[in-house]
Amino acid sequence: TKKPVIAIDGFSSTGKSSISKIIAKKLGLIHMDTGALYRGVTFFALQHCLNEDKNINIEKLISSLPYIKLEFQDIDNELQLFLNGKNIDREIRFPQVSDNVSQVAKEAEIRNFLLETQRNIAKKGGIIMDGRDIGTVVLPNADYKFFMTASQDERAKRRFLELELAGEKTDVETVKQNLISRDKIDSEREVSPLKQAHDAILIDNTNINKEQTIDLILSYIKKF
Ligand code: C5P
């Protein structure tokens, strides 16, 4: 039978991407981290569309969209993000990008610009896509929809350890403030706000580890 299309949405640092990646591998599906696209646009803006006060000039960014070519390339079985031919997969995780991405992601023109890229990749089926509005807007007809959440403290702790491991100098409180502010902007924006689709299964992993979360999600997916 046909390979499924799976949408995984939820709050930042609930493990959406790393969990989706593992599930994709287990089930033989493609994994696409849609947050990377918003981060890619933000990375471009930080290089080319700043005001004198070093804040992103959203108008300039919107008029520059035709000059932004984002694509995923398969590097060792992992989709890595390229901006105008340059691999930026590492750079898009930098804190400066995390701090600015939600401002960029709330603009309708920018969301529209990325919508087609996302839907085109999903057309072939057999994909697991993670983000904020996949089940609600990008792929409303997905075969399975999950919505992931966990307590703020637990999420801050996880993200902090991840950044520390990557050699970033930061502290839990700073990380927590970034999460809170992103969650707020993402949930309150007018276009495609972060919310659970009415037909999505809620996965709260505050008290379960990564392996248990993966097993829980897999328990809902029928053999294909
Ligand atoms: O998933 P990640 O944390 O990398 O996403 C970064 C940001 O991109 C989110 O905080 C959100 O503002 C935006 N985003 C979005 N819609 C998606 C995926 C990400 O608005 N589908």
Complex confidence, ipTM: 0.98
Phi-psi region of 79 (alpha: psi -120 to 50; beta: other; left: phi over 0): beta
**pLDDT tens, position by position, 168-214:** 889 999 999 999 999 999 999 999 999 999 999 999 999 999 999 99
| CATH code for the domain defined by 5-218 | 3.40.50.300
Task: Look at residues 43, 45, 166 and name the one whose alpha carbon lies nearest to residue 97.
Answer: 43
Question: What does the pLDDT look like over 66-122, one tens digit per residue?
Answer: 999 999 998 877 789 999 999 999 999 988 999 999 999 999 999 999 999 899 989
Asked if residue 72 has its Cβ within 6 Å of ligand 1, the reply is no
Would you say the pTM of this structure is higher than 0.90? yes
Pocket test for ligand 1, best of 16, 145, 186 (most atoms within 8 A of CB): 186
Q: Where are the alpha helices (DSSP H) in the chain?
A: 16-27, 35-48, 58-64, 95-105, 108-122, 152-165, 172-188, 210-218
Nearest CA to ligand 1 atom 1: 35
Residue 155's pLDDT is: 96
The average pLDDT across 116-145 equals 95
Ligand 1 centroid, distance to 25 Cα (angstroms): 22
Closest ligand 1 atom to Cα of 134: 21
Q: In the predicted model, what is the mean pLDDT of the chain?
A: 95
Ligand 1 in reach of 105 Cβ (< 6 A): yes
Among 94, 106, 129, 131, residue whose Cα is nearest residue 12: 131
